[in-house]
Structure 1
Amino acid sequence: MSCTAVFGTVFMDCKGFAANRYDPLGRNVGSVRFIHGGVGRNVAENLALTGASPVFVSSVDEGPLGEDVLSRLSAEGVDVSRVRRAPSSGMGIWLAVMDERGELASSISQMPDLSIMERIVAEEGDEIIRAADNVILELDLNDYISSEALRLARKYSKRVYGITGNMEVVLRNRHFLRELECYICNETEAGRLFEAPVPACEPERVLEMLEGYVEENGLRAMVVTLGGGGSVFYEGASHDGGFCPAVPTDVVDTSGAGDAYFSGTVEAMIRGVPLREAVAFGTRLASWTIREEGPTCRALPEPLFL
């Protein structure tokens, strides 16, 4: 089985779920949960749930909260030997409010201290990427982490799959996208990249925009998710693109949908599935994830890969 190194963050998510119609200007009754999160952490756990063997490269806080994160990941089959413990700021905090439909209504995030990740990449990055078969990179950590991880992947001819957090690093370094085997983002992120509104309710138009961007900028492959509207994909080498519909689902919490979609799609590609078919695996994993609270499934209802 191939080994995938996942470079990304850990967050402690504080989520409020509105019990009734959400009022952004008033007080809302509901429930509050503290949940393990972070794009990189979510992806690493998702990969392990599908039967993969990810190595997670990140940092956590020393103490019970950090140890709880590591214990859960280890129990799911994630190799956490490359995760460093820090006295403070090893993890970020994400404050999120979910409306009565389980949709994200508002959020504020506090990033972890990325100098810890910088040291990991500087001191251990060469060894980690040399030993990996594939690399998953949360692109918006910072310029140094992303550029160094990509440099090492070039050095050892490793495939890199990219996912974004806040888009700032990507927008400053659009050339990073040409080095990725596949880049996956949502319609809001794509709009910032395309510098034009992306009409999520018009997948044919989005596919047209995506094809133009991939061809003009020399990307290998890119996918844009459209929430409940499905997703569109395009491969530069084969000039093949298309639309994948969403799976109708009773929604509880959509906050982990994008990470789940990314994980299922990328793991399928790593297993040799063409992108046109791989997006269906991402769609299925996302549909399972959003029907329960939290950014990942506690257990898959059935194997994603047979």
Structure 2
Amino acid sequence: MTQRPDILCIGAMLWDVIGRAPRRMAPGADVPGRIRHIPGGVALNVAIAAARWGLRPAVLSAVGQDSEGEALVAEAQRLGVDCEHLTRDTGLPTDCYMGIEDSEGLIAAIADAHSLEDAGDRILAPLSADLSGWTAPVVLDGNLTEGLLGVIARDPRLARADLRVVPASPGKAERLEPLIAARRGCFYLNRLEAEILAGRACPDAASAAEAVVARGAARVLVTDGPHPAADASVGQPTITFAPPPVTIARVTGAGDCFLAAHLAAELQNQPRDAALRQAVESSAAHVSGKDVP
């Protein structure tokens, strides 16, 4: 790719191994289903979804020099993602995520992101070279360590960037504290993640988003499964939009589709309510088994 990217996605780029059963599973269940081996990681998921919206995304991440890494890079490039700025010399195998889903959603997952964690701030090196002077959107995912997120919050190379932040999972939500303390970024959370950052339970997405804004965040978007999503921002009224009812076909990656669709709408200068509607509808389509646009 010769054009400068529109978006940088910084974080996990790995293989997703997703097992899905067509019915509800109990702990310890051994049931028939389908297992998929697909490109994944929050940063790469957002980049792939952004490419479907006609944007030019690039990923800053760590990918092994093994056969799985070569295949992952080739597939990401085929899907429209700029992989020219990856860190490939970690000495570790390509990272992997394993998830189990049933008819009602995610049962359990394990993320092996050791290559990304080992690479640390080396993945940011292109910001001093080909990507210097960056002022466009940057998607940050919670697979980055808390220490590296703190470095990014203070990094002068990203001082003018439009930061879009997603925790990757509820267990990693607290890693975002340095960015909240720095009052940097627009946060994309589910209600549980928002409650963790707010330090209290919240009855709905709107109150959860407002609670994180009260903690110091400038802007927060919160999803809540089949219930209305919300966009809360300092100095503006909170807005909500309810997703259409859908049959669950998959859940992994829904939040990444939400973020990419929302960002694409805002880059087209759509108003807040239209951007939120596009994000909610895109996420719902993903959950139903479709991809939009």
Q: Same fold (TM over 0.5)?
A: yes
Please show how residues 294-305 of structure 1 align to structure 2 within 5 Å.
297=291, 300=292, 303=293
* 1:78 CA drift (Å): 1.4
Among 5, 9, 33, the residue aligned to 2:8? 5
User: Which residue of the partner structure matches residue 202 of structure 2?
Assistant: 198
Aligned ranges 1:35-184 → 2 under 5 Å:
35-86=38-89, 88-89=91-92, 91-101=94-104, 103-113=105-115, 114-121=117-124, 123-127=125-129, 128=131, 130-152=133-155, 156-166=159-169, 171=174, 174-177=177-180, 178-184=182-188
Partner residue in 2 for 1:266? 263
1:268–1:9 Cα change, 3 Å:
same
Deviations 1:18-51 (A, max 9, x none): 1444232332122222222111110111111110
Q: Quote the sequence identity (%).
A: 20
In structure 2, the residue corresponding to 1:23 is in which secondary structure?
Answer: coil
1:246, distance to aligned residue in structure 2 (A): 0.6
Question: Given residue 63 of structure 2, which amino acid in structure 1 is its aligned partner?
Answer: V
Distance 1:276 1:129, change over 3 A: farther
- Are the structure 2 counterparts of residues 219 and 276 from structure 1 closer, same or farther at C-alpha, using a change threshold of 3 Å? farther
What's 1:291 paired with? 288
Equivalent in the alignment of 1:208: 207
- Paired with 2:34 and 2:133, the residues of 1 have a C-alpha distance of 45
How big is the shift at 1:173?
5.5
Q: Could you tell me which residue of structure 2 aligns to residue 219 of structure 1?
A: 217
Of residues 68-77 and 146-155 in structure 1, the stretch that sits farther from structure 2 once superposed is: 146-155
- Other structure's SS at 1:34 match: strand
Q: In structure 1, give the amino acid aligned to 2:218.
A: R
1:290 Cα deviation from its structure 2 partner: 1.7
The CA deviation at 1:117 is 4.2
* TM-score in terms of structure 2 length: 0.87
Could you tell me which of 217, 232, 235 is aligned with 1:234? 232
Return closer, same or farther for 1:161/1:67 CA change in 2, 3 Å cut-off.
same
Change (3 A) 1:26 1:41: same
Do the aligned residues in 2 keep the contact of 1:162 with 1:180 (CA within 8 Å)?
A: no
Task: Go from structure 1 to structure 2 and tell me whether the alpha carbon gap of 1:155 and 1:210 turns closer, same or farther (over 3 Å shift).
Answer: closer
Q: How does 1:267-282 map to 2 (within 5 A)?
A: 267-282=264-279
Distance 1:156 1:197 in 2: 33
**1: distance between equivalents of 2:207 and 2:30?**
43
* TM-score (ref. length: structure 1): 0.84
Report the Cα distance in structure 2 between the residues aligned to 1:187 and 1:3, rounded to whole angstroms: 29
Displacement of 1:109 after TM fit?
2.0
Mapping of residues 12-31 of structure 1, within 5 Å: 12-31=15-34
Between Structure 1 and Structure 2, how many residues are aligned? 287
Given that 2:58 and 2:82 are in contact with CA atoms closer than 8 Å, whether structure 1 keeps it comes out as yes
Distance in 1, Cα, partners of 2:148 & 2:194: 22
For the structure 1 residues 86 and 64, does the alpha-carbon distance in structure 2 shift closer, same or farther, using more than 3 Å as the test? Answer: same
Counterpart amino acid of 1:252?
A
- Do the aligned partners of 1:10 and 1:37 also contact (CA within 8 Å) in 2? yes
My pick for the range that moved more, 257-266 or 142-151, is 142-151
**What amino acid is the match of 1:44?**
A
Any unmatched runs of 5+ in structure 2? none
One-letter code aligned to 1:111: A
Question: In the superposition, relative to structure 1, how do residues 32 and 57 fare at CA in structure 2: closer, same or farther (>3 Å)?
Answer: same
**Contact kept in structure 2, 1:5 and 1:56, CA below 8 Å:** yes
Matched residue of 2:25: which SS?
A: coil
> Does the Cα contact within 8 Å between 2:13 and 2:63 map onto a contact in 1?
yes
What CA distance in whole angstroms lies between the structure 2 residues aligned with 1:53 and 1:160?
17
- The one-letter code of the counterpart of 1:233 is D
In 1, distance between residues paired with 2:28 and 2:175? 35
